[in-house]
Every structure is written in structure tokens, then in C-alpha cells.
A and B are shown apart, each in its own frame.
With several copies, the nearest count.
Chain A
Amino acid sequence: MPAGAQAETTTRDYTLGELMVAAASREIADGELVFVGMRLPMLAFLVAKQTRAPRAVGLYENGVIRETPSPELLYTMADPPNLRNATQCSQMLDVMALLQQGRVDVGFLGAAEVDRFGNLNSTWGHRDGQTTRLPGSGGACDIACLSRRTVVLLAHERNRFRERVSHITSPGHGLGNGWREAQGLPARSGPSALITTLGVLRFGSDGEAYLASVHPGVSVEEVLANTGWTLRVADELLETPAPAAAELSSMRSLDPNHFWTR
């Protein structure tokens, strides 16, 4: 996490993690089906449930479907609190089937690298000129292919924001507008937001990312310097709204010790 951003957040009433969770939670509309994932996205889903999207439904790759928050903090989606009183404990195939049917509105992803068109790499890392083997797709490729839209959370660092990822674990907009359809992927799908440690990027109709908002205290220059390609900036650049009181109290009740939102 860039030192600048961290320093900023300590002067405010919330942490950077909390800002990102709040921003992510606003990507969920009421009644939507959400492929949740773990860590910050899970918290974002729970915040959304308790604020603007009380009827959102959460799907987990192990087959679990939940409409109520897990009563305890989770380390994995199969932790016992996530199964008890779930809406349904089905099979992996069943939740993936809902995804492939086009019923899933939004899926949350992380990645080691992202590029100009929102393609994600979580298979091979590059560090100090060395190539390292990362854990791989899990369900990320499936979610990236088949959700109506995807929201990616990741650290904004120049070596992670690359002109072109070396390996497409999870397809974004490929080489730009029309690429997904040409591959055979569902129409009008693909990445809709990158929520980073510095700002929020969205995608133009040509499939290319642009900077839509910067987090409080972050400059456009800082974002550009940490992006490995010439990042476009919105004509009306916004500041990422600070977490609302209700959002903060919700996430703090779920993660009182800032385990995920430090």
C-alpha cells in the first residue's frame, strides 16, 4: 500500500480499507445476486446488505448462498459460521450454474496484475525481475467471464498496473470494445470498476479504463505515477466519497478489530 495514501488516512476518521469497502459496497444495488469472495469484498457485501441493498443475495464458490451476514468474521468461505443458517448449501456446480445463467449481477475479484482493459492476472507474479507462481484462478476466471459486471479491488502499484498483463487469468475487456463478444463471452458483461488504494477506475464504451475518482488526499499525479500505462482521466474527476456513518458503523460491527480494514 503506497505510503502516501496510508499517511493520509491516519488523519481522517476512517482507514483506507474502510474507504475501499464503502466504495465497493456502493457497487451493489438492492436485490442483486453477488458473487462475494473473501476479505474486503465480503465486508463490502455485508455493508451493502445493512445499508442500501437489504435484499442482495450472496453466492460463494463452495456452493453456499446466504442472505444474512455470517455471525462471525470469516477466514474462508467454508468457515462453519458461513454455513449455519445459510439460505442454501448447494454444490459448487449449482452456484456456478446461476452465474452461467446470467443471474449474477456483480462479482468481486482481486488480482496480482491488471491492465488497461481490465484483464487480470492471478497466476504469475513479477517481482524484482523474477517470475513467481501464484495460486491461480480459483473461481476468478469464471466470475470474470460470466458475471454481468465485475468489481476488482487491488493495491495501486506501478508493477501491478501494466500496459498488458502477461497472462490473462480472468478476461476483462481484452483488447477493447467488442473483444468479449468476439470471444463468445456474454454480451454487455465485463469489468465495471477497479477500486484501488488510490482511487476508482471505470471503463469507457471502448473498454479502456479511466480514472473516475481519487481517494481523499490523493493527487491525480500520484495515480498516474503508479499506473503502468497512460491512464485517461475523467473530464469530471470526482473525489471518492468518504464512508458514511452508517457504512462505518456497519463494517465496524462486523470487523471491530480492523482485521480486514487496517
Chain B
Amino acid sequence: MTTASKLVSMHDAIARHVPHGSMVLLGAQMEQMIPFAAGHEIIRQGKRDLTVVGPISDILFDQLIGAGCVSRVMAAWVGNVSAGVGYCLRRAVERSIPRRMEMVDYSNFTLALALHAAALGVPFLPTYSTLGSDLLAKNGNLREFSSPVSEEKLVAVRALRPDVAVIHVQRADEFGNAHLWGSLGTAVDGARAARKVVVVAEEIVAPEVIASDPNRTLIPGFLVAAVVHEPWGAHPSPAQGYYGRDHAFFSQYHEQSRQVEDFEHWLERWVLRVSDRREYMNQLGACRAEALGVREHAYSAAADFGY
């Protein structure tokens, strides 16, 4: 039909769809396909007062916090998954460096339920999780109540509706219909919970490729505001079928973010002084990228949609 292409540059996608003060879902797929390229563009554009949402966004949240973009974090875990704590998080929470910041602590499940509630269009969803914990005591979006159909205590997890979800996917067409596979985490609910979706794709493919497998189309284009073609856009996190996890990069970041001066140097080098992901990858070097590439393809068996 006559739908217009939604392809834009990363610069334009962030400029248009991530205003100051907005609530942004990043890193919905846990440790895979974290939208680092989008996060770095947010930093370069100096976005401020963001609420960042995501179960575990590995070091991306730490970087956004260290760069001063974030006034509030709604997450279950913030740090460096393979190396330990996040030093920017610590500085922000313990000493308000570079700015004061609010932490709203969720568990993975309650954050997933908050997004699921918004995706379902209900004000809350019930769970037994967090009963007896200080998460329940301290997070105002978790509230104990009595089940209307039984004598049980339950926790109402309030719906969380991000202004925008940035979802990194393996492939999409120019209208935003997206295939993703492997580690899904909260991506499907996240895309449906958000007011709009920015899809960042390793590959832009013909609509026929996406349409050939509508069960793998986990984000339909009509929910998508912008599509960015950004190969290697999730580095140093992995993208199944495209590249592996750059464990060393995470370790190096861990060391280089321990002191605030070192972090600022890191930020200059990897974010502020590169203009886009292409330059970032040039700096990373072809050898390193080559080493992360797919060594052995493993293609899914076909499903027949014929009749």
C-alpha cells in the first residue's frame, strides 16, 4: 500500500523522538541487542532529565548516568553484568555526581509486569512477587492489596508506559515491521507498552522477507515511529546471528569508569568525539569486529506458510 518509508538516521531518530525529560525504554532484551548506538547518540545530543527504563541494560545505563542525561532510573539491576558494579551509578547515587538522580528499584519480574500491564492496557497487574521485600516497601509503583477473588495478599504492579521504546532488532523493513529472535526479554511488551517505538536494525530487508514469517514479526510497523539502519549498533552487546559479545570491552569500561576523570576520558573517546556508529566501528577496528563476527551460521528450519 502507500505507506511511507520510516527510515531515518540515528541522529534524526533521537532528535525527533527522545525529547528532554522523556521516559525511554532501552535494553529490553536483557544482555543482548542493547541499543548502545542510540544511547550514545542520546549522550551526544545532550539529552537531559531522562527517565531510563529497562530490566538490566548492562553498562548502557551506567554511561547515560555518567554523562548526566538521567534524572531517574526505573530498573531491576544497574551495573556491569560480567564485571560487577557500575561506578557511574555509584557516584550518582552516593554523591550526586554528575547530578542528583532518583532510583526506583524493581525486580525483573515486576518491571516486566509493569510493561505488560501497559501493553495490555490495564492500570496494574497482580503478582505474589516482592511480598515481604523492601522493594515493595520503597517502590511507590508496587502496592499490596487483597485479591478480589480469594483471601490472598497480592502486589499490584502499576502500568509503566514509556514515551518511547528503542528496540534493537536483527532485521526490519523500511516500514518498521521487525524480526527479532534469540533473547527476547521484555522487548515485545516494551514495544507495545510505549507511546512510540524506534526500531534500530542490523539489516534493512525487503518487506517480503519480513512478511514471509509473520510469527517472527514481534514488532508490527504500525506501532513504529522511526527505523534506523545501524549495523553493529548493539556493540559491545551481542546480536544473535550477527556478532558476539565483546567481553573485553565491558572489562575495559569497568576499569576506565572507576574514577570520574577516567570515565570522562572514556566518554570523550568512545562517544563524544565520534560522530556516529560508523566512526565508532572504525575506531574499534576491523580486526576486533572480525573476531566478534559469526564463525558458524546456524539457520532455523523453515516453516511453511503455504496452502
Contact = CB atoms under 8 A, between A and B. Distances in A.
Q: Do chains A and B touch in the complex (CB under 8 A)?
A: yes
Given A90-B184, A170-B133, A138 B56 contact: yes
12 contacts: A63-B184, A76-B58, A78-B185, A78-B237, A85-B298, A87-B222, A91-B189, A99-B121, A100-B121, A137-B107, A141-B135, A185-B131
A194 interface: no
A183 B132 contact: yes
A139 B107 contact: yes
A76 B86 contact: no
Interface string B102-123: 0101111110110010111110
Interface residues of B, number: 84
Given A80-B240, A83-B183, A140-B107, A67 B128 contact: no
Nearest to A72: B307
Contacts of B93: 133
A142 B108 contact: yes
Given A54-B2, A75-B247, A141-B129, A87 B183 contact: no
A247 B132 CA distance: 37
B85 A168 contact: no
A136 interface: yes
Contacts of B245: 75-76, 79-80
B214 A76 contact: no
A76 B32 CA distance: 9
A84 B112 CA distance: 24
A237 interface: no
Contact of B108 (A85, A92, A180): A92
Given A83-B305, A87-B222, A133-B93, A92 B135 contact: no
Contacts of B113: 93
B6 interface: no
Nearest to A53: B1
A136 B221 contact: no
Most A C-beta atoms less than 10 A away, residue of B3, B89, B121: B121
Contacts of B212: 85
Interface in B186-201: 186-189, 192
Interface in A96-120: 96-102
A184 B222 contact: no
B128 A137 contact: no
A94 B189 CA distance: 9
Nearest to A31: B222
B131 A93 contact: no
B6 to A, nearest CB: 12
A67 to B, nearest CB: 6
A97 B122 CA distance: 9
Given A85-B212, A146-B128, A61 B184 contact: no
Given A89-B214, A97-B119, A183 B131 contact: yes
A85 B301 CA distance: 12
B177 A78 contact: no
Minimum-distance CB pairs A-B, first 8 = A184-B153, A80-B307, A100-B121, A135-B79, A101-B121, A183-B132, A78-B31, A138-B77
Most B C-beta atoms less than 10 A away, residue of A38, A85, A92, A96: A92
A169 B136 CA distance: 9
A146 B75 contact: no
A97 B120 contact: yes
B31 A79 contact: yes
A211 interface: no
Contacts of B259: none
A87 B221 contact: yes
Contact of A145 (B132, B221, B250): B132
